[in-house]
Amino acid sequence: MHSSRFPVYFLSHGGGPWPWIAQMQDMYATTAREFAALPQRLPARPTAILVVSGHWEADAFTVSTAVQPPMEYDYHGFPEHTYHIRYPAPGAPALAARVRELLSGAAIATREDAQRGYDHGVFVPLHLMYPQAEVPVVMLSMKSNYDPAEHLRVGRALAPLRDEGVLIVGSGLTYHNMRGFGRDESTPVAAAFEAWLDGAISQPDPRVRDAMLLDWERGPGARQAHPREDHLVPLLVVAGAAGEDTGRALFVDHVMKVPMASYEFGGARQARA
């Protein structure tokens, strides 16, 4: 990897606003520790962060352009204080324009949204990585058709950002079946699918990796792990941006009886499994 080129990440962000809930902090202790350590793996502090969250989709790829993005409390049934969380990182309109320029150059239509705020797929990992909220953030939506090829193509178009000081993060979960969390029978399903994903992202030939991800539904337990693939699609964008770089598990946490894996592509240091 070029010494100044940023790695790209797929992060399993966990359930709701867990860092702000005492009863959930112990469950996610590994995730909290690893997210907090992630900036040390980068070649420098990023000039900005581009996040594709499993909590934002639109009928066209949409880029957030707010100078000071608001908050999106897109969860239900949590304590009142979690609806007052603030993550005051600024937006980055110049990066938003660059994202649209790169996607336009690849003949990918985009829109912009000046009102979109930070959902918990954004503010949970970033709060742990950069608690001072000093790094500007832009969000890119998924396209609601979830087409794997389109999302890989978006990632490929965005790859130049890695040489421009931008950290690209896909935020989702390797298992996201709301009816399955906490159930014993979910453990082998989630483990089998995560093992398959790990095998796909760690393929040394990126063409093999991408072909496997394009056909992700053939993975063991795929549709049981992802009845809707909203939390998997960000991985496709990340894999596209990874280009020739091989992926590896950054870490795997085990919460609510399922593994939750986070992946790194192109890191300069050996990751811990």
Domain residue extents for the chain? 8-265
| 8-265: CATH number | 3.40.830.10
Q: Which residues of the chain have pLDDT under 50?
A: 1, 269-273
Whole-number pLDDT of residue 19:
98
Whole-angstrom distance, CA of residue 252 vs CA of residue 245: 20
Please check whether residue 248 is in contact with residue 271, taking contact to mean a CB–CB distance below 8 angstroms. yes
Whole-number pLDDT of residue 271:
38
C-alpha distances in angstroms, 26 versus 29, 91, 107, 187, 254? 5, 31, 46, 19, 11
C-alpha distances in angstroms, 149 versus 29, 100, 158, 185, 207? 35, 19, 14, 32, 13
Per-residue pLDDT reduced to its tens digit, 225-237:
999 999 999 999 9
Whole-number pLDDT of residue 112:
98
Q: What is the dihedral of CA 18, 20, 26, 32, to 10 degrees?
A: 80
pTM (2 decimals)? 0.97
Whole-number pLDDT of residue 1:
44
